[in-house]
C-alpha cells in the first residue's frame, strides 16, 4: 500500500504526519507515523503480503510505552496477507491494514493499545535570595516560612542565605563573588530593610534592581524613623525602577505580609506549570 494512501486515509480521521524518528520507543522504524492528540499510529509498510517472519512481528510488538501517549502499531500491506501473518499479528497484538479489492483501506485486526503513564507536570526548583542584615529576626522568620510551606505543600521552594553557602567568607572581598553567584541562581529576591544603613545590603539591592523584574523583588521596610531616614536614597531609587515596597510595623506584621506574598508566588508556580493548587482541587 502506498504511503500517500495511508496519509489520506488517516488524515480524514484527524491524524497528522510527524517525523518517523520522533519516538525512540519504537522497536522497528516505521515508514509512517501519524498523531492525533494523545494517540499515535506507527505503521510499517510491507511490499509483500506473503512473507513476514514471526520474529519481526514479535519485535515490533515489544515497542515501549510513550509517556502520556497511546501507541498503536500496525503493518500495512498492498493486499490481504497470508493466514500465518494474520494469525501471528493478532497473537502479538499488532494491527493490520491492507488494500482491499475495491481500492479501499481495510483493517484486519486492531493494534493493542500501548498506553504510557501520564507525565505529571512538576514545579521546578525555585530559590529566593535573602538580602538583609544576617542577624535580623525577620530573616529567620522568612527562612522558616519558606521551609514550612515547602514541607506542607510539597513544593520545591528554598531560601538562599549566603551564610549557608559552603564558600561563605566574612571577608567582603571574597564574599561579593559568592553573593553574585547566589543571586544569579535565584528566581526571586527578598529585601528587608530594618535599622541603620549597611553598604553591602545597598549593593545587593542595586544589583537586584538590574537583575530581577519588579514583580520578582519582595521588598519590605520597617516602618520606623531610623529605617526610613537611613535608606531614603535607596528607597527613592527603587521606586524610580518601578519596584514597590511594603512597610511593616513589627515581626507579626512582617510574618503575615511575607507569608501572603509567598503563597501568591507558590500559587503562580502551580499555574505556570499546570499543577493543581489546593484551591483548585
Tens of pLDDT, residues 19-65: 999 899 999 999 999 999 999 999 999 988 998 999 999 999 999 99
Q: How many CA atoms lie within 13 A of 18 on its CB side?
A: 14
* Residue 243 contacts residue 216 (beta carbons within 8 Å): no
Q: Smallest Cα–Cα separation from 55: which of 89, 79, 24, 30? A: 89
State the Cα angle at 150 between 252 and 147, rounded to 5°: 50
Residue 62 lies in a domain: yes
Kindly state whether residues 43 and 90 are assigned to the same domain.
Answer: yes
Instruction: Tell me which residue range forms the domain holding 109.
Output: 3-115
Q: Smallest Cα–Cα separation from 198: which of 212, 179, 218? A: 179
Kindly state whether residues 227 and 103 are assigned to the same domain.
Answer: no
Q: How many CB atoms lie within 10 A of CB 133?
A: 16
* Residue 104 contacts residue 124 (beta carbons within 8 Å): no
* Residue 194 contacts residue 230 (beta carbons within 8 Å): no
Report the pLDDT averaged over residues 88-117.
87
Domain count of the fold of the chain: 2
Indicate the range of 32-41, 163-172, 226-235 predicted with least confidence.
Answer: 163-172
Q: List the grid coordinates of 95.
A: 494491527
| pLDDT interval class at 281 (50, 70, 90) | very low
Question: Where are the alpha helices (H) located in the chain, listed in sequence order?
Answer: 3-11, 54-61, 83-92, 137-153, 172-184, 199-211, 225-230, 232-240, 251-272
Helix (H, G, I), strand (E, B) or coil at 122: coil
Residue 153 lies in a domain: yes
| pLDDT interval class at 192 (50, 70, 90) | very high
- 112 secondary structure, DSSP code: P
Task: Show which of 115, 149, 183 is a domain's final residue.
Answer: 115
- pTM exceeds 0.85 for this model: no
Kindly state whether residues 57 and 94 are assigned to the same domain.
Answer: yes
Kindly state whether residues 83 and 134 are assigned to the same domain.
Answer: no
Report the pLDDT averaged over residues 238-251.
94
For residue 177, pLDDT beyond 60: yes
Helix (H, G, I), strand (E, B) or coil at 107: strand
CATH of the domain at 53: 3.40.1350.10
CA–CA separation, 218 and 263 (whole Å)? 12
Q: Smallest Cα–Cα separation from 246: which of 230, 227, 265, 233? A: 227
Show Cβ contacts of residue 252 under 8 Å, excluding neighbours closer than 6 positions.
Answer: none
Residue 238 lies in a domain: yes
Length of the chain: 281
Residue 239 lies in a domain: yes
* Residue 76 contacts residue 45 (beta carbons within 8 Å): yes
Report the pLDDT averaged over residues 248-274.
94
Kindly state whether residues 105 and 209 are assigned to the same domain.
Answer: no
For residue 214, pLDDT beyond 50: yes
CA dist list (Å): 250 to 141, 147, 207, 223, 258:
12, 21, 27, 8, 12
Residue 241 lies in a domain: yes
Task: Show which of 54, 86, 115 is a domain's final residue.
Answer: 115
Kindly state whether residues 101 and 164 are assigned to the same domain.
Answer: no
Amino acid at each position: 500500500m502506498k504511503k500517500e494512501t495511508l496519509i489520506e486515509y488517516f488524515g480524514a480521521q484527524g491524524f497528522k504526519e510527524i517525523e518517523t524518528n520522533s519516538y525512540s520507543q519504537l522497536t522497528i522504524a516505521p515508514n509512517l507515523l501519524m498523531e492525533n492528540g494523545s494517540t499515535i499510529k506507527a505503521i510499517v509498510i510491507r511490499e509483500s503480503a506473503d512473507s513476514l517472519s514471526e520474529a519481526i512481528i514479535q519485535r515490533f510488538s515489544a515497542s515501549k510505552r510513550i509517556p502520556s501517549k497511546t501507541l498503536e502499531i500496525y503493518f500495512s500491506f498492498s493486499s490481504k496477507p497470508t493466514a500465518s501473518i494474520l494469525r501471528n499479528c493478532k497473537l502479538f497484538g499488532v494491527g493490520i491494514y491492507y488494500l482491499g479489492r475495491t481500492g479501499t483501506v481495510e483493517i484486519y485486526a486492531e493494534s493493542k493499545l500501548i498506553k504510557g503513564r501520564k507525565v505529571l507536570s512538576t514545579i521546578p526548583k525555585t530559590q529566593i535570595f535573602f538580602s538583609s542584615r544576617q542577624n535580623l529576626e525577620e530573616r529567620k522568620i522568612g527562612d522558616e516560612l519558606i521551609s514550612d510551606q515547602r514541607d506542607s505543600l510539597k513544593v520545591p521552594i528554598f531560601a538562599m542565605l549566603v551564610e549557608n553557602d559552603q564558600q561563605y567568607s566574612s571577608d567582603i572581598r571574597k564574599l561579593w563573588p559568592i553573593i553574585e553567584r547566589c543571586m544569579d541562581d535565584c528566581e526571586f529576591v527578598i529585601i528587608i530593610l530594618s535599622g541603620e544603613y549597611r553598604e553591602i545590603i545597598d549593593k545587593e539591592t542595586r544589583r537586584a534592581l538590574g537583575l530581577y523584574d519588579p514583580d520578582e523583588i519582595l521588598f519590605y521596610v520597617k516602618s520606623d524613623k531610623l529605617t526610613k531616614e537611613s535608606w531614603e536614597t535607596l528607597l527613592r531609587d527603587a521606586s524610580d525602577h518601578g519596584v514597590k515596597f511594603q512597610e511593616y510595623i513589627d515581626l507579626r506584621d512582617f510574618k503575615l505580609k511575607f507569608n501572603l506574598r509567598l503563597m501568591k508566588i507558590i500559587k503562580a508556580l502551580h499555574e505556570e506549570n499546570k499543577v493543581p493548587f489546593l484551591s483548585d482541587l
